[in-house]
A = this chain, B = another copy of it.
Amino acid sequence: MTSIALAEWLQLWLDTDSDQPAYHQLYLLFRKAILTGKLPPDSRLPASRLLAKDLGIARNTIIQVYEQLALEGYVHATTGKGTFVADVSQDSIEDGPAGETAASPNVAPYPSLSQRGVRLVHRLGFSNRQQGAFMSGVPDISEFPFKTWQRIQNKRWRNQPEDLLGYAPAGGYEPLRHAISAYVNSARSVNSSARQVIITTGIHQGVDVITRLLTEPGDLVWIEEPSYWGLRNLLLSSGLRVKGIAVDAEGLNPDPQQMKHPPKLIVITPSHQYPLGMVMSLSRRRMLLEYAHQHGCWIVEDDYDSEFRFGSRPLQSLQGLDEWGRVLYAGSFSKMMYPGLRTGYLVVPVPLADHFANAVAELYREGRLMTQANLAEFLAEGYLSSHVRRVRNLYASRRQCLIHAIQRRYGNSLEIIGDDAGLHLVLGLPDGVDDMAIAHMALQRGIIVRPLSDYYLDGRQAKKGLLLGFGCVSEEQINAAFPTLGEVIDAALAKIS
């Protein structure tokens, strides 16, 4: 290996962002090069001055590394000639160096993500920030009844509950399945028995097991346009053909041409369209159920925040209307409790129940029965209902506060999209506005907003707007932050006028 090739190899592997000092990394890299024959016996190490320059690090570091290697017998220095690799083949490793392997011109390029991998990492939706105005999709965690939860938790740990520390049985912790069945039957008019309830880590895992049991790679899936980026990316990454279907005031609205090609899956948010907030009409629900029944489609009903309706009673679930077992109902405790809990559920038709229970156990090897047991008690004792009742009022006030802040500045000139529900609203913007640029500018001033464009599979179809979360934002924060956001919006509006 020439000095140049060695320097390139070291550059590839030296991680200057690492918490490991460069000295230690270099030492390990040289040792590896020597032990594996990349640097064969008697080859000469590059001059410390040149290598320091190539790697952009202090020459002293290189000298220290060479000295350490000499001390341990990996190299020997000959005054006036340089530093040479020792023959370590007999001492250190069984088989001796494998010889030079680096220079082959036929080697595959590196790194090489798959096509679906590239698509995924180039269109990420998640954010590491989760606090502050106007973060959407996150509840106010500070309102969570910590003490109650801790008391429930401690009671179980004190009993050294070995049976709750193993892998989960098929379907999850039985008492939690019962508690969830009772909850969704009463709160959401779902028609379920405990056997139909499958505990998951959330909607992502729920959709994943659905695709694995009910679709093949390459199958067609309908999602709403716009919709939640997380599920869109999961479905794309699963090798499915994902088609965005427009929504109107009544919800998902496939055109006749689209209906000629029935999909295998239809993923929808009928109670509260995400992110626009409309409720799917009864006639549209019936049409979809009938269509799914006729064509053997499966409908995934993501009932992601139906607990937070402020004005009206929640509508009953689509699942409760389904007479042919085409609906898979998905819920989660992320927004009612706290996101990090990672506990959700599927309610699946009776004939599929055992298959789903078994598949989750097999595919994900789940555990966390302790959390499931604590949650079962939290539900059964009514703590969840009373917590939800309390924060529902809080969120309703914050929504009003945000609407007032918007109207104080804009009157009715910008549309407020979304019904009286949920943890966010959408502030509509005129067509020519670059909502992504606004989000970017706002972030530089410490304000988080999501551009509505991000929620479209096909950016050319995108309506412009901003998702403004109010669930985790106090009224003080709302009133303090909105004027700043308004300045950013006004600057963008000025550009197109």
29 residue pairs from A and B, CB less than 8 Å apart: A12-B325, A15-B196, A15-B350, A17-B193, A19-B178, A38-B323, A106-B294, A107-B294, A107-B296, A110-B351, A111-B349, A112-B214, A113-B352, A117-B355, A121-B359, A125-B362, A126-B170, A130-B166, A131-B166, A141-B166, A144-B165, A150-B157, A153-B153, A165-B340, A167-B339, A168-B340, A233-B362, A342-B365, A342-B366
* CB within 8 Å of B: which A426-482 residues: none
Q: Does any Cβ of B come within 8 Å of A370's Cβ?
A: yes
Q: Does any Cβ of B come within 8 Å of A218's Cβ?
A: yes
* Interface residues of A, count at CB 8 A: 123
Interface string of A70-98 (1 = CB under 8 A from B): 00000000000000000000000111001
Interface contact B214-A117, CB-CB below 8 Å:
yes
Given contacts A38-B323, A193-B19, A323-B38, contact A362 B94 (CB under 8 A): no
Q: Does any Cβ of B come within 8 Å of A321's Cβ?
A: yes
* CB within 8 Å of B: which A92-138 residues: 93-95, 98, 101, 104, 106-117, 120-121, 124-126, 128, 130-131, 138
Among B108, B111, B362, the residue within 8 A (CB) of A351 is B111
Q: Does any Cβ of B come within 8 Å of A290's Cβ?
A: yes
Interface contact A126-B18, CB-CB below 8 Å:
no
Cα–Cα, bound, A171→B94 (Å) = 37
Q: Does any Cβ of B come within 8 Å of A62's Cβ?
A: no
Interface string of A22-48 (1 = CB under 8 A from B): 000100100011001010000000000
Segment touching B, from A200-208, A379-387, A396-404, A417-425? A200-208
Cα–Cα, bound, A93→B111 (Å) = 58
Among B110, B128, B323, the residue within 8 A (CB) of A36 is B323
Interface string of A315-331 (1 = CB under 8 A from B): 00000110111000000
Q: How far is the CB of A455 from chain B (nearest CB, A)?
A: 15
Q: Does any Cβ of B come within 8 Å of A257's Cβ?
A: no
A261 / chain B contacts, CB cutoff of 8 Å: none
A170 / chain B contacts, CB cutoff of 8 Å: 126, 128
Q: How far is the CB of A494 from chain B (nearest CB, A)?
A: 35
Q: How far is the CB of A189 from chain B (nearest CB, A)?
A: 10
In the complex, which residue of chain B has the Cβ closest to the Cβ of A146? B160
Interface contact A363-B282, CB-CB below 8 Å:
no
Interface contact B95-A283, CB-CB below 8 Å:
yes
Cα–Cα, bound, A367→B101 (Å) = 42
Interface contact A362-B124, CB-CB below 8 Å:
yes
Q: How far is the CB of A460 from chain B (nearest CB, A)?
A: 23
Cα–Cα, bound, A234→B359 (Å) = 10
Interface contact A213-B166, CB-CB below 8 Å:
no
Given contacts A165-B340, A286-B95, A363-B234, contact A146 B157 (CB under 8 A): yes
Cα–Cα, bound, A131→B164 (Å) = 12
Q: Does any Cβ of B come within 8 Å of A195's Cβ?
A: yes
Among B9, B191, B293, B369, the residue within 8 A (CB) of A101 is B293
Q: Does any Cβ of B come within 8 Å of A364's Cβ?
A: yes
In the complex, which residue of chain B has the Cβ closest to the Cβ of A159? B146
In the complex, which residue of chain B has the Cβ closest to the Cβ of A202? B365
A391 / chain B contacts, CB cutoff of 8 Å: none
A126 / chain B contacts, CB cutoff of 8 Å: 167, 170, 358, 361-362, 365
Q: How far is the CB of A132 from chain B (nearest CB, A)?
A: 12
